[in-house]
Structure 1
Amino acid sequence: MSILGWWRRRRAPRNETPAHGNEYVDSRDCGLVDAVQSGWFLNDRNELFSGFPIDAQDVVLDVGCGAGGATLFCAKRGAHVVFTDVVEEKIESLRQRLGQTPARKVEGFVSDSLPLPLPDAYATRVVCLEVLEHVEDPEKVLQELWRVGRPGALYLLAVPDPLGETIQRDCAPAHYFERPNHIHVFGREEFSALVEQAGFKVERRSSYGFYWSLWMLIYWTQLKASGRQITGETHDVVHPPYSPLLNDWSSLWHRLIQMPDFAPIKRHLDQLLPKSQVIVARKPF
């Protein structure tokens, strides 16, 4: 599941708000606050992720853009944004939203990335967040990402962490680890080696998302207890209204991360049971 797709700050409609009124915190709002504390969407530094700056001169390619949180962040910095996804409706929806931003150019393509519909050495920044675990041949996709990046281009790559994936096997439905969902689980060293073998220089490795790991475990456990079944891409079918227990977890975590003394605990938990692992890499000059 692409957590980035949920990191769009949006108030829940009234029929999503449970009885506990002012104590209620939408899961997505809590996830956004948690993400910023983990180094994402750093508005004051114009960094999509810590160590991944964006400015108006950049050409940013977002592969597997989904709901478009990363693309929108870059567009608001005036960058030339290029975005791809296999779902045409997502491309068109994002294209319309980008019309309200100062992006100097907007290009959207329906593509499975093999190949990407772009010339060689096109982008200065390449974003590929929680996509590689879905594709048949991650090595070939990385080769395409290499091809379209300029010498010196920065890459922001993320896949689910193996710890979070392993624990979900005990509660998630089988289709979560089948097409079109997660057909690869990358060990941390395996992911780093995959990126380096494609020719990139790894500049930073990180992990985050304890909040979302627990959120998903609660979601799957309650789903199994209810007897309901869901099919299709998980990030398209897991949507509000969320259960009272999930709302309680989001509200609790939101209160905790507002406490300055909790910051080191959050960092440890993000390493103990992360949802995702992140690599910032560079294509050598």
Structure 2
Amino acid sequence: MIRALIRRLRPAAQPAPVPLPEPVSERGSPRDIGLLDAILDGWFRADSGELLKGFAIGADDTLLDVGCGEGVATLFAVRQGASVIFTDSELDKVRELARQVEAQSTRTNLGLVSNSLPLPLADGCASKVVCMEVLEHIDEPEPFMAELVRMGCPGAQYLLSVPAPVGEHLQKGIAPASYYQSPNHVQIFTPERFAALVEDAGLVIEHRQVNGFFWVMGMIFFWASERAAGRDLEGAVRDRIQAPYPPLMESWARTWQDLLALPDGPAIKQLLDQLMPKSQVIIARKPLQTASSTAEPLSGATPC
């Protein structure tokens, strides 16, 4: 049903951008429906090589994925033939991602366990820089953002995302207090503050969007289910929300799947995403500089 729904919601000439997890049941899990929701927002366009519409990755690119987590962006770039550099503060995540990258790529790649500033990377080492759902964890985001800009070569493109303030505020009172404490979310960015952070660092914004109503509600239902069951709510969210999902989350995923199948479903989704988004996304670019100011790229990385 999910594959059929993707075909209905996209032009017939375009294949689904990414394969859904196998096997796919008639009724998708929250993970399945979250993937479908992301595809409708322009993510994972394998047919055009765009991680997000407007952010294409090719074999000539070196992608730097800061705060890579499970490596969704890194593995997408590997499938496009790019060289990758990925960093995270958690050893287990870097080690597992390195294993997957090695199995899929013949390029020169690098995985680093680090949350320090500066990162041990050369100036201008990447032509594509991804930093998704990381800046909200940083006590001082301005120097962190400057470090991201340093590592992009002139003309490098950036894909950045942080939680939207509406969803963050709605979860207060039901999420545990630790959700808003280090090492979790210590910053809440208004759209204006997020844009200023990017522009003050010297980048030029090319595209902005919000998305993720599905996940705001999913998170709220997750917290409610955990509290009702008397379970401990401590721990990072991304590590806790996984199968088996609470029945309420499963029910919500089915409801969202049914909504997307309606003739007006995608239009309703867009309205709700604008009303109560989970994330805000910026695509930006580092301005071109004179040849004399171009830094030496990291050994093994493809220059811009």
| Match runs of 1:175-190 below 5 Å | 175-190=178-193
The aligned residue for residue 199 of structure 2 is 196
Q: Distance in 1 between matches of 2:234 and 2:199?
A: 35
Q: Distance in 2 between matches of 1:104 and 1:258?
A: 41
Q: What is the number of residues matched between the two proteins?
A: 271
Q: Distance in 1 between matches of 2:92 and 2:38?
A: 26
The aligned residue for residue 216 of structure 1 is 219
The aligned residue for residue 87 of structure 2 is 84
Q: Is the 8 A contact 1:161 1:276 kept in 2?
A: yes
| Match runs of 1:15-34 below 5 Å | 23-34=26-37
Q: Is the 8 A contact 2:176 2:234 kept in 1?
A: no
Q: Distance in 1 between matches of 2:154 and 2:134?
A: 23
| Match runs of 1:218-233 below 5 Å | 218-233=221-236
Q: Distance in 2 between matches of 1:63 and 1:196?
A: 19
Q: Is the 8 A contact 2:227 2:233 kept in 1?
A: no
Change (3 A) 1:103 1:51: farther
Segments of 5+ residues of structure 2 without an aligned counterpart are 1-17, 289-304
Q: Between 73-82 and 113-122, report the one with greater CA deviation.
A: 113-122
Is the counterpart of residue 109 in structure 1 residue 112 in structure 2?
yes
Identity of aligned residues (%): 47
The aligned residue for residue 51 of structure 2 is 48
Q: Is the 8 A contact 1:205 1:279 kept in 2?
A: yes
Q: Distance in 1 between matches of 2:138 and 2:125?
A: 23
Paired residue for 1:93, among 96, 100, 110?
96
Q: 1:9: how far off?
A: 4.8
SS in 2 for 1:75: helix
Q: Which amino acid aligns with 2:37?
A: D
Is the counterpart of residue 206 in structure 1 residue 209 in structure 2?
yes
Q: Distance in 2 between matches of 1:8 and 1:111?
A: 31
Root-mean-square deviation (Å): 1.8
Q: Between 224-233 and 39-48, report the one with greater CA deviation.
A: 224-233
The aligned residue for residue 273 of structure 1 is 276
Q: Distance in 2 between matches of 1:39 and 1:260?
A: 19
Change (3 A) 1:263 1:63: same
Q: Is the 8 A contact 1:63 1:84 kept in 2?
A: yes
- Deviations along 1:135-186, one digit per CA (max 9) or x if unpaired, are 1111111011011100010000000000000111131111111111101000
SS in 1 for 2:85: strand
Q: Between 171-180 and 100-109, report the one with greater CA deviation.
A: 100-109
Q: Which amino acid aligns with 2:284?
A: A
The aligned residue for residue 240 of structure 2 is 237
Q: Distance in 2 between matches of 1:103 and 1:148?
A: 23
Change (3 A) 1:10 1:35: same
- Deviations along 1:26-48, one digit per CA (max 9) or x if unpaired, are 11111111101011111111100
The aligned residue for residue 151 of structure 1 is 154
Q: Distance in 1 between matches of 2:26 and 2:178?
A: 34
The aligned residue for residue 16 of structure 1 is none
* Structure (1 or 2) with the larger CA radius of gyration: 2
Q: 1:131: how far off?
A: 0.3
SS in 2 for 1:61: strand
Q: Is the 8 A contact 1:79 1:103 kept in 2?
A: no
Segments of 5+ residues of structure 1 without an aligned counterpart are 1-6, 13-20
SS in 1 for 2:109: strand
SS in 1 for 2:284: strand
Q: 1:238: how far off?
A: 2.7
Q: Which amino acid aligns with 1:36?
A: I
Q: 1:258: how far off?
A: 3.4
Q: 1:23: how far off?
A: 4.8
The aligned residue for residue 70 of structure 1 is 73
Q: Between 95-104 and 125-134, report the one with greater CA deviation.
A: 95-104
Q: Distance in 2 between matches of 1:202 and 1:173?
A: 34
Q: 1:201: how far off?
A: 0.6
